[in-house]
Amino acid sequence: MIPDATWTTAEVLVRGIDPDDEDYVALALHLKCPLWTGDKKLIKGLQAKGFKQVLSTEQVRSMLREK
């Protein structure tokens, strides 16, 4: 159900970081939602490639405390 173009974008984003995360990145792109992960290497790598819609566990906890 996820378009091929989205898979290609996810593949490019995770290249050099962790190809095992391609599915999660593709799903986040497809759903147009942030990716929540505790993987600091993935967070830094994605942000370096311009993917800003990634949240760390610490950020999610902070958001929940604010409510």
Each residue's pLDDT, cut to its tens digit, for the chain (67 residues) gives 999 999 999 999 999 999 999 999 999 999 999 999 999 999 999 999 999 999 999 999 999 998 7
Q: Residue 67's pLDDT is what? A: 74
Judge contact between 9 and 20, C-beta under 8 A.
no
Give residues with Cβ within 8 angstroms of 65, minimum separation 6. none
Instruction: For the full predicted model, state whether its pTM sits above 0.85.
Output: yes
Comparing C-alpha atoms, which of 62, 43, 61, 63 is closest to residue 53? 43
